[in-house]
Chains A and B, each alone.
Chain A
Amino acid sequence: DTEVTQTPKHLVMGMTNKKSLKCEQHMGHRAMYWYKQKAKKPPELMFVYSYEKLSINESVPSRFSPECPNSSLLNLHLHALQPEDSALYLCASSSRLLQGLNSPLHFGNGTRLTVT
């Protein structure tokens, strides 16, 4: 079982829809991440939150809007997406952003997003 829970597992949305991806962890981690992964490619970092504040935005288009309501939850709001945004979206968490090796990333199972 994963300690990082992502919902939904699958999502199909049209280009005019608004939807949200959700991520939850109860490990007391204070850093949370969104990654995008295309088929047979490595994950690409999108956003990093540290102590509920956005610390990294990897020049992600504004149609992706992250939100961290509290230390356990991370959302990704989607609006006006394009078909090329179809991918696996992975959430991850780690204990503290500025720590060393003993804060590896723990990943969820991802949300498979299809934009039609």
Chain B
Amino acid sequence: AQTVTQSQPEMSVQEAETVTLSCTYDTSESDYYLFWYKQPPSRQMILVIRQEAYKQQNATENRFSVNFQKAAKSFSLKISDSQLGDAAMYFCAYRSPGGATNKLIFGTGTLLAVQP
């Protein structure tokens, strides 16, 4: 069974600085998808960025980028120029391709605080 581990329960960053959130996963599959979701106090889970395992190029979305290391089964999220609105719980998630389910396997989350 696949597992997702986020080893940093809490992180803090100064506004305008850069922070990296770590995520590792365990799987025997060669093809899969990885996601970072953000959950602010408003409670909505918001998709931040996604990565297909077969793509070597790291995904980027504006100030958000990932460092995807397939061999090491690592999928870290880098937030550049941190803003107060980035404060939230961040969940790393894994999904198998196809099949009869679109089930996401979530990590335990990292609570990010942004200091002004």
Q: A104 contacts B101, CB within 8 Å? A: no
How far does the alpha carbon of A45 sit from the alpha carbon of B108 in the complex, in Å?
14
* A70 interfacial contact with B, CB 8 Å: no
Known contacts A41-B109, A101-B52, A107 near B101 by CB under 8 Å: no
Which segment, of A17-25, A59-67, A75-83, A90-98, faces chain B?
A: A90-98
Q: Which of B49-93 contact A (CB under 8 A)?
A: 50, 52, 89, 91
B:79-116 near A, CB below 8 Å: 89, 91, 97-104, 106-109, 111
List the A residue with the shortest CB-CB distance to B31.
Answer: A100
**What's the dominant secondary structure at chain B's contact region?**
loop
Q: Tell me whether A90 and B45 are in contact (CB under 8 A).
A: yes
Contacting residues, chain A, for B46 (C-beta < 8 A): 107
Given A48-B102, A55-B101, A98-B99, A42-B44 contact (CB < 8 Å): no
Counting CB contacts under 8 A, is B25 at the interface? no
B109 proximity list for chain A (CB < 8 A)? 40-42
Instruction: Collect the chain A residues with CB atoms within 8 Å of residue B98's CB.
Output: 98, 100
A48, B95: Cα distance in complex, Å: 15
- Interchain CA distance A41-B109 in the complex, whole Å: 7
Q: Given A42-B91, A101-B33, A109–B44 Cβ distance below 8 Å?
A: yes
Q: How far is the CB of A58 from chain B (nearest CB, A)?
A: 9
Q: CB distance B101 to A109 under 8 Å?
A: no
Closest to B46 in A: A107
Rounded to whole angstroms, the CA-CA distance of A41 and B101 in the bound complex is: 22
Q: For residue A88, which residues in chain B have a CB less than 8 angstroms away from its CB?
A: 43
Check B101 against A97 for contact (C-beta < 8 Å). Answer: yes
Q: Name 14 A/B residue pairs within 8 A (Cβ), A-sorted.
A: A43-B45, A88-B43, A92-B45, A94-B102, A97-B102, A100-B52, A100-B98, A103-B102, A105-B104, A107-B37, A107-B44, A108-B44, A110-B44, A112-B43
Residues in chain B within 8 A of chain A (CB atoms): 33, 35, 37, 42-47, 50, 52, 89, 91, 97-104, 106-109, 111
